[in-house]
Structure 1
Amino acid sequence: MTFTLVPYFQFQFGNKMIAYALTTVGLLYLVKLYFAPEPKPLAGVYKQPSARYTIKYCFFRLILWLRQRKNKKLKATSGQNAGYGVRSRSSPEEMDQVQDLPSIDEHPKAVDAVYFNGGNKDGYFLVTATARRQDNVVQTLLYLRTPGLGILQGTFMSDSTNLKGTDPKSYAAGGLKMTPLKAMEEWQLTFSGKMVITKTGEEVDVTFDLLWTAFTPYFDFDTDMNPVTMADAICRETWSRSYFDDLQRVHQTHYEQFGDITGTVKISGHADVKLNVSGVRDHSYGNIRDWTDLHRYAIQYCTLEDKTAICLGVISMPRSLSRLVMGYVFHPDGELDTVTWTSFELHEHGEDGIPPKEFIAKFSAGGKMYNMRCTVVDMARFFIGEGKDARIFERFCDYEVNEQKGWGISEWDYRNGKRFFDDGESI
């Protein structure tokens, strides 16, 4: 009996000692992670993964997975707690319409904004947008580029993009109006007013009645963002109660869709323009849009010759997401791949406030590697915000992606004035 029990007890005792040792090592490792210093942000802004990054990443991927499951089971939603896997509205029809702004006392910086762009291989481009704000303020922009005349700009933009809306329940100001016709399928874009040919200073009367028609499904950033890039962006940051409060505070619903803009533009004293351009339109709405929250962003939209539609961007909002990679590829058959990685880093491109006229970026989507070359054909700049808070460049571009030619818009934003970021409280 002695010879059989002694080895048994020795084995059991040895297992306990190993378990205690492993537990102790694990606890010491967690303590080390907890007290490990945060790496310095690149350029003083862009957070880098800390020693705690992997644990945070695994935890947040689980959170995103649970929220995506919740979204699939939702039959209706009021928009509360939207984002990060959960949609904001119950149907596309409810999304693709003018949104009610909340009380000005509760949310003075609420927004409901639509944006359209398009370009083609012949050098024609159109960019137009309206952002409905409180007190019937509509931040409005309008650019048209033709190979012969260059860039035409709405004359109202020479002073400010802040206009008074002509209809509180419409995306309309300054002679420009954008109207949804069929949810996620068609919009009407109309304008009647003055524009200036920036190259010569000549003011001209311009009218158009254009039709935007979708050729891709819509991409909802609340539900369709790749969980890899979403979790990476959040897990780079310093977590605290105030940090997650900030994430909720600044959230906006945002979705995008590629389509064609067709119709005739009449320009007084010049030949009519038969417009046929391809690009993206977006719709954003939320309780707050504060341009001072952004340090900068660089977003590329392009349509390739075979109607592949691509978005690639990096956004920096230092108080919440100092480095967020976003993007997708819609293939000609409508299939979607989301961007999981890019070589493009903001601190390496135009951090001095001057956007490069040409750059190369690699990115992966759907397990495929893409090589993008962007070459700026022409460029316009405007300011937006209550105090000209942001300086935005609309860049009319030629693209080449995996040896296929394309065209589109490269939009770069900079915080106008003092750089702003908040390191937060470490936990």
Structure 2
Amino acid sequence: MPRPPRSASAPGASIAQPIVAGVVAAISGYTAAFAIVVAGLRAVGATPAEAGSGLLILTVFQGLLTIVMSLRFRQPLSFAWSTPGAALLVAAKGTTGDFRVAVGAFLLCGVLLVITGVWPWLARTMTRIPRPIASAMLAGILLPICLAPVHAAVRLPLLALPAILVWLVLLRLAPRWAVLGAVVSATVAIVATQPHLAGARLLPTLAFVLPSFDPLVLVSIGIPLYVVTMAGQNVPGFAVLRTFGYDTPPARGMLAASGAATVVGSFLGAHALNLSAISAALVAGPEAHPDRDRRWIAAFVCGVAYLVIAPLSGAATALVSASAPVLIEAVAGLALLGALVGAIVAAFEESDDRLVALVTFLVVAAGIQVAGIGAAFWGLVVGGVVMLWLRVGRRADPA
């Protein structure tokens, strides 16, 4: 993709422009995915307090990483929690009910991210995972969650349909705020139907979790979490930066820093941190500032806004915990529809690999477990085997 021309300095551009862009990026990024993060942590055994701790530390660390890296390199380098990773945790429900074992998988993911940052060979290898397989795996993980709005509309129509309608109206009138509107609508419904919520603990607390290691869970959750975080967040995050003309981001430093934050955060319930993709487009594009050299201010403000939002983690966790799981997954499904569309398009873009992508997608979406190992890992394995079988020894088409 051709590099966008460097914007000339725009003296008329207001300093308010990058500030507004940064605040909007933080609010939209948090509200679009906090529900799926809490649901994912709860699915692998976290108590409400542990899930709240994980959400709090994820929000704080992504804010600190964004502030430090943007200020250090004067580029709009934004970080976020792994939304595909949280979706993976929801899909892995039943793999383990012991949160300590899940934390061991989070720790493994963080270590692998650090190694990726300091070992160039591993970084090159991860970025060369065939796109059809990686995208199809992500699509298979997202599909059950994106079906949740349909199930919720049937099972809880009085609660789910208003949120879906608000989302649909705003998708036409103000797309950026569509998910926030659905969250607000669902929140009103939950508060109205759960009067005991007023007595819930609304302030977040940190909960230390000593990790435990189960080989099956490390393979079922730890390795797929690393793969979807790399393929679903880090690779697109670098692509967004390069699209807007930042050709030399400190890639190894960013990967190592997010991995180190994941390692530390895992002891407090955090699953994975990575480069931002959607928020990166808001703070690295011309909406943040006409002058590319000043867009780092938007990322810096975004990081500060995350620190301001972080104390809401306790209330957000209480809200999710008080609601019917299908309603929370419905809101998360609305937020992830765009990611599902992108994953499906990327998976089936190349006609020669569509069968490989379809097989990978079906294995992951089926949610199977073999030998105690989850579907995401088997999707990668089966997709890789099918691709090798169809490619090895096959002559190139002369046409």
Same structural fold, with TM-score higher than 0.5 when normalized by the shorter chain: no
The TM tier, using the shorter chain, reads under 0.3
Q: What TM-score do you get using the length of structure 2 for normalisation?
A: 0.22
Q: What TM-score do you get using the length of structure 1 for normalisation?
A: 0.21
Structure with more of its chain in helix, by fraction: 2
